[in-house]
Amino acid sequence: MESIHVKLNEVVLRDGLQLEDKILSIEEKLEIYAALKKAGIQSFEFGAFVHPKRVPQMANSGEFFSRIEKDKAEASLIALIPNLKGAERAREAGVQTVNYVLSISDSHNLQNVQQPTAKSLEDLKEIRWYCGKNGMVLNVSCATTFGCPFEGEIPEERVLEILGEIVLLDIPLITLADTTGMAHPKQVHGLMKRILEQFPNQTFNLHFHNTRGMGLANVLAGVKAGVRNFDTALGGIGGCPFAPGATGNVCTEDVVHMLQLMDLETETDLDGLLAASDLLSEAIGHASPSYLMKAGPSTQKYPLPVTQ
Amino acid sequence: MESIHVKLNEVVLRDGLQLEDKILSIEEKLEIYAALKKAGIQSFEFGAFVHPKRVPQMANSGEFFSRIEKDKAEASLIALIPNLKGAERAREAGVQTVNYVLSISDSHNLQNVQQPTAKSLEDLKEIRWYCGKNGMVLNVSCATTFGCPFEGEIPEERVLEILGEIVLLDIPLITLADTTGMAHPKQVHGLMKRILEQFPNQTFNLHFHNTRGMGLANVLAGVKAGVRNFDTALGGIGGCPFAPGATGNVCTEDVVHMLQLMDLETETDLDGLLAASDLLSEAIGHASPSYLMKAGPSTQKYPLPVTQ
């Protein structure tokens, strides 16, 4: 059987850091970034061009980019943007790939970007035009695809309808995000089967949070449905500041550990990821929710206790 | 499609409490037990007849049983035993169902019961005869089925060979335990398919620990392979005192939450389980690793923030 390749996009430097109290310095971010690159990570959501007062952790995204810009040829360096102003600031900073976020549910879109989803979809067309004109790549992230903390379940029809509009705009990668960890494996499998059938030429990326312990099971459900792209965050930290109950992203090293055991290819080095995760814990000043950082890989053997 | 029924055996009062520093009183155990019964749990591994110095938390198992014995008709009340002496003590206490534990790997068996697995299999025959003679039901648990912290991977052939011997003894329920959370979903699915094919008339129960975050994914892999019986522990606490790196069992409320979302029947009440888990945290004096206790069910909706 042909081996399955899974592409990971590392979001610790954006979504991962958003809920952390301590603002990381450029130097700290650089150290974590370098360790992740060394471990084989080739795609990064490295920051966001959002209002610095709303998400202080992202305020130095432009400066951070200027320090890693040289890697553009060998790694995808993606910045999240909430609006056209974000795209403009990204362009000024020299960023080539941006990820525009909108929410499938109106309630979360209103909290996140202060306008209904329909207005964000309109704006998307303008941003698409702006990016095209300026030679920038535009991806799109759909928050609350698998449920909204305010509205609850989201009808699949609404997801499909909004995706239908986005797909028309020739977007290389569309991320479907489970913003507050409401997705379950049956839902992920069913919805992704339907989406991949309806949009067979579109590449989709999945973004899970491990809020209710189903993160790894949801990744597998996605793989089984045919998805090959996933967002993960080193240490499993993170969460949306504008979604109540938000907790950490699905953890990079935990995902890689599981996929490696299952003979799925990620082209990353687990030991390298654990070294990076160590730097992360030091930088944020506390242990992360990573299972692997506590337990170590399951291949690890313990010596037999000495008996008398 | 016919709905799938999953039977849960609650192990918090045995495996769950084993690694806790604070020894719970009979009254505290009774309170948790009553709350679990109220939530619909019908099968309990309520304690163990092991050496009280080796596992102090289990020393009051006989006394505890005398307080819940009246429930025998409506709930399965199972005690773990490591040897014939355990079976005899269980009988003296009036216990009708015992669960004999042996390890698939010699190294863990030596740590756990100070003899190689072959000797434990010999003893099993004697215990089987003893239980039959005394009208007791004998189940068997196989520790380290999915990996051993000392030996690493366990060859499937060894598992099948040992199961072959056990199955001959007419054992109602055989538990396959992932003692230190080394199992991964592909392994669980593959091994269980093979086991169920080889022993089509035998009922198997799976016992997972969430050491590396794959607990819920492993439960689903088991269900998919055809297993319908699972051990879970309230709050996700627990672990074997004689296995280095052991951490909590797969968490009852997290498992039930996921299975309910996926339309699998467990005949338990999630709110009732959360109430029981609250009592547990109070009794052990710290928060448990339960996701649901932190995040609440995914059906929970948050009010929209008041905007100015």
What pLDDT does A1 receive? 55
Residue B303 lies in a domain: no
Please answer yes or no on whether A258 and B295 come within 8 Å at the CB atom.
Answer: no
Mutate to test the interface with B, among A212, A262, A294 (most CBs of B within 10 A): A212
B246 Cα to chain A: minimum distance (Å):
8
β-pairing verdict for A229-232 and B7-10: unpaired
Mutate to test the interface with A, among B212, B251, B308 (most CBs of A within 10 A): B212
Residue A231, beta-bridge partner list: A9, A207
Query: Helix or strand or coil: residue A301?
Result: coil
Asked if the model's pLDDT at residue B275 lies above 60, the reply is: yes
Contact B56, B24 (CB under 8 A): no
- Contact, B135 vs B116, CB < 8 A? no
Q: What is the CA radius of gyration of chain B?
A: 19
Q: What is the pLDDT of residue A307?
A: 56
CA neighbours closer than 13 Å in the CB half-sphere of residue A77: 23
- Asked if the model's pLDDT at residue B159 lies above 60, the reply is yes
User: How does DSSP classify residue A69?
Assistant: G
Residue in this structure with the two tokens 């099948």, named with its chain if needed: B160
Distance from CA of residue B21 to its chain's centroid?
20
Which pLDDT does position B257 carry in this prediction?
98
How many residues are given for chain B?
A: 308
Interface of A with B in 223-252 (CB under 8 A): 244-245, 247, 251
Q: How far apart are CA A142 and CA A103, in angstroms?
A: 5
Distance of CA A109 to the CA centre of its chain: 18
DSSP-derived secondary structure letter, A134: T
* Residue contact A301–B107, C-beta within 8 A: no
* B147, pLDDT greater than 90: yes
What was the pLDDT predicted at B268? 98
Residue B308 has pLDDT above 50, yes or no: no
One-letter amino acid of B195: I
* Residues in B touching A249 (Cβ below 8 Å): none
Taking the CA of residue B43 and the nearest CA in chain A, the distance in Å comes to 24
ipTM of the shown complex = 0.95
Which residue, A122, A68, A114, is CA-closest to A95? A68
Would you state the torsion angle of the CA atoms of residues A87, A89, A91, A92, taken in this order, to the nearest 10 degrees?
170
Lowest average pLDDT, out of A119-123, A128-132, B150-154, B241-245, goes to B241-245
CA A179 to chain centre: 10
Q: What are phi and psi of A172, to 5 degrees?
A: -60, -40
pLDDT tens per residue, range A239-249:
888 888 888 99
Residue type, A263: D
Note whether residue A1 is domain-resident. no
Task: Test B258 with A184 for CB contact under 8 angstroms.
Answer: yes
- The torsion region of residue A247 among left (phi > 0), alpha (psi -120 to 50) and beta comes to beta
CB of B260 less than 8 A from some CB of A: no
3-state SS track over chain B: CCCCECEEEECHHHHHCCCCCCCCCHHHHHHHHHHHHHCCCCEEEEEECCCCCCCHHHCCHHHHHHHHHHHHHCCEEEEEECCHHHHHHHHHCCCCEEEEEEECCHHHHHHHHCCCHHHHHHHHHHHHHHHHHCCCEEEEEEECCCCECCCECCCHHHHHHHHHHHHCCCCCEEEEECCCCCCCHHHHHHHHHHHHHHCCCCEEEEECECCCCCHHHHHHHHHHHCCCEEEEEHHHCCCCCCCCCCCCECEHHHHHHHHHHCCCECCCCHHHHHHHHHHHHHHHCCCCCCHHHHHCCCCCCCCCCCCC
Cβ of A212 within 8 Å of Cβ of B150? The answer is no
Residue by residue, pLDDT tens for chain A (308 residues) are 568 999 999 999 999 999 999 999 999 999 999 999 999 999 999 999 999 999 999 999 999 999 999 998 889 999 999 999 999 999 999 999 999 999 999 999 999 999 999 999 999 999 999 999 999 999 999 999 999 999 999 999 999 999 999 999 999 999 999 999 999 999 999 999 999 999 999 999 999 999 999 999 999 999 999 999 999 999 999 988 888 888 899 999 999 999 999 999 999 999 999 999 999 999 999 999 999 999 999 998 998 876 54
Alpha-carbon Rg for chain A in angstroms: 19
Residue with tokens 């799976």: B206
- Given an 8 Å threshold on Cβ–Cβ distance, is B150 in contact with A296? no
**Per-residue confidence (pLDDT) for residue A308, from 0 to 100:** 45
Please tell me if residue A11 touches chain B, with a CB cutoff of 8 Å.
Answer: no
Per-residue pLDDT tens digits for A291-303: 999 999 999 899 8
State the Cα–Cα distance between residues B20 and A121, nearest whole angstrom. Answer: 53
Catalytic residue among B142, B148, B240, B251: B240
A301·B244 Cβ contact <8 A: no
Is A306 domain-assigned?
no
DSSP symbol at A306 = P
The answer to whether residue A163 sits within a structural domain is yes
Domain limits at A279? 7-295
Check CB contact under 8 Å for B151 and A301: yes
Instruction: Give the pLDDT score at A240.
Output: 85
| pLDDT tens digits, B17-43 | 999 999 999 999 999 999 999 999 999
- For residue A207, the SS3 value is strand
Q: How many domains does chain A have?
A: 1
The answer to whether B288 and B263 have CB atoms below 8 angstroms apart is no
In a domain, B257, yes or no: yes
CA A50 from centroid of its chain's CA atoms:
16
**pLDDT(B244) > 90:** no
Give the nearest partner residue to A150 out of B217, B299, B302, using CB atoms.
Answer: B302
Q: Is residue B305 domain-resident?
A: no
Let me know: does A89 contact A276? Beta carbons within 8 Å: no
Answer for the pair A19, A237: CB distance below 8 angstroms, yes or no: yes
Find which of B150, B189, B191, B216 to mutate to test the A interface (most A CBs within 10 Å of its CB).
B216
Alpha-carbon distances, residue B274 vs A125, A289, B252, B269, B293 (angstroms): 46, 22, 9, 9, 7
pLDDT for residue A304:
86
Taking the C-alpha atoms of residue A30 and residue A13, their distance in angstroms, rounded to an integer, is 10
Which among A16, A19, A20 has a CA at the least distance from the CA of A33? A16
Are B149 and A247 within 8 A, CB to CB?
no
Residue A93 burial by CB count (10 A; 0-12/13-18/19+): exposed, middle or buried? middle
Long-range interactions of B301-307: CB distance < 8 A, separation 24+: B301/A149, B301/A150, B301/A151, B301/A152, B302/A149, B302/A150, B302/A244, B302/A245, B303/A150, B304/A107, B304/A110, B304/A111, B304/A150, B305/A111
- Residue B301 to residue A152, Cβ atoms within 8 A: yes
Q: Which residues pair with B168 in a beta bridge?
A: none
- Summarize the confidence of residues B283-304 as an average pLDDT: 94
Q: Smallest Cα–Cα separation from B241: which of B289, B180, B183, B283? A: B180
For the domain that residue A32 is a member of, what is the CATH number? 3.20.20.70
Mean pLDDT of chain B: 96
Say yes or no: B3 contacts chain A, CB-CB below 8 A.
Answer: no
Minimal CA separation from A180 to chain B, in Å: 9
Nearest to B245 among A213, A261, A302 (CB): A302
CA dist., res. A289 & res. A293, Å (int): 8
Residue B301 covered by a domain: no
Residues of A in contact with B215 (CB under 8 A): 213
Task: Give the integer Cα–Cα distance in Å for A15 and A13.
Answer: 7
Q: Does residue A236 belong to any structural domain of this protein?
A: yes
Is the pLDDT at B307 greater than 80, yes or no? no
